[in-house]
Each structure stands twice: as structure tokens, then as C-alpha cells.
Amino acid sequence: MGRRRGIMSEPFKEELAKELGFYQTVQREGWGGITSKDAGNMVKRAVEIAQSQLKQN
């Protein structure tokens, strides 16, 4: 199976990582260096942002 194309843009993921406090890990080790908990928190935050934007429209 090939690599899936990401839905979130790289700048958006970096912004979330900064907000959630693990951007330094991403800089040092790449996205593979973050914990599954951090990845889950990043997805959760992205969903919260999307829901907030939908409510505004």
C-alpha cells in the first residue's frame, strides 16, 4: 500500500505542534519522533478548529 497523502498542510501541522508544545521534537526528529498521544492531541485540536469554523459559517 502506498503512502497516503496528508489532509493537513505542513504549515498547519507545524502551527498545531507549536501550540501543543512539541514542535522542537518535530524539528529534531521529524514527525515520526512524536508520541501517539501528541499525534492524537494534534488531530483532536484540528477537529476542534474545523468545528469552530463550521459554526461561524
pLDDT digits (tens, 9 = 90+) for 15-40: 999 999 999 999 999 999 999 999 99
Residue from 15, 43, 41, 14 nearest 30 by CA: 14
Does 1 reside within a domain? no
Domain that holds residue 20: 10-56
Task: For the beta carbon of residue 16, count every other beta carbon within 10 angstroms.
Answer: 21
Task: Return the half-sphere exposure (C-beta side, CA atoms, 13 A cut-off) of residue 54.
Answer: 6
**Amino acid, single-letter form, for residue 20:** L
Indicate whether 3 pLDDT > 50. yes
Q: Has residue 33 been placed in a domain?
A: yes
Q: Answer for the pair 34, 24: CB distance below 8 angstroms, yes or no.
A: no
Report if residue 3 sits inside a domain. no
Number of domains in the chain: 1
Asked whether the predicted pLDDT for residue 1 surpasses 60, the reply is: no
Mapping DSSP to helix (H, G, I), strand (E, B) and coil, where does residue 50 land? helix
Look up the pTM and report it.
Answer: 0.83
